[in-house]
């Protein structure tokens, strides 16, 4: 867990926003940024974002729910949300654990993702859900 990034402390309730400001999230991060990672699946390798994890109940869309667009592909298990105005990925309901949202660490107010240091990469090409299902 990461409680501070550069000069920015991670607050127990930390706000996040897209680029244009239409979408604002409130995240419960009592343990800071948990499990930040990149992923090399077909979607994430294009998106390039670092995602942290938060329980579903720990993320609230406080502004701009109408601006959010949902994108789904492949098994359509994961729900990827992005701002329809500026195109920035804000959060997604995970496929590897549907009880968690991933969220865009770079959207956290005051957080410079380049100050995070090394971030592990999830092997999304060989997705855990595919291995469980015995395919892929
Ligand atoms: Zn936006």
CATH classification at residue 98 = 2.170.150.70
**Is the residue at 1 inside a domain?**
no
pLDDT tier, 135 (very low <50, low <70, confident <90, very high otherwise): very low
Contacts of 93 (CB under 8 A, 6+ apart): 56, 78, 79, 100, 101, 102
Query: Which domain covers residue 24, as residue numbers?
Result: 8-133
Would 115 be classed as within a structural domain? yes
Q: Tell me the pLDDT of the chain averaged across its residues.
A: 91
Q: Is residue 113 part of a domain?
A: yes
Q: How many domains does the chain have?
A: 1
DSSP 8-state code for residue 2:
B
Closest CA to 34 of 15, 54, 11, 48: 54
Residues with Cβ < 8 Å from 8, sequence gap 6 or more? 108, 109, 110, 111, 112
Q: How far away, in angstroms, is 131 Cα from ligand 1 center?
A: 35
Q: What is the pLDDT of residue 136?
A: 35
CA of 90 to the centre of ligand 1 (A): 9
Question: What's the pLDDT band for 72 if we cut at 50, 70, 90?
Answer: very high
53 contacts 100 by C-beta, under 8 angstroms? yes
Is residue 2 one of the residues assigned to a domain? no
Report how far ligand 1's centroid is from the alpha carbon of 88 (Å). Answer: 6
């Amino acid at each position: 867990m990461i409680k501070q990034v550069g000069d920015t402390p991670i607050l127990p309730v930390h706000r996040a926003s897209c680029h244009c400001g239409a979408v604002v999230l409130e995240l419960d991060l009592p343990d800071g940024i948990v499990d930040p990672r990149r992923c090399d699946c077909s979607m994430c390798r294009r998106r390039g974002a670092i995602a942290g994890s938060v329980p579903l109940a720990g993320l609230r869309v406080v502004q701009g729910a109408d601006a959010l667009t949902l994108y789904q592909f492949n098994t359509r298990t994961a729900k990827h949300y992005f701002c329809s105005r500026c195109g920035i990925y804000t959060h997604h309901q995970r496929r590897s654990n549907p009880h968690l949202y991933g969220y865009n660490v770079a959207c956290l107010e005051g957080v410079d993702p380049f100050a995070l240091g090394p971030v592990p990469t999830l092997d999304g090409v060989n997705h855990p859900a595919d291995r469980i299902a015995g395919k892929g």
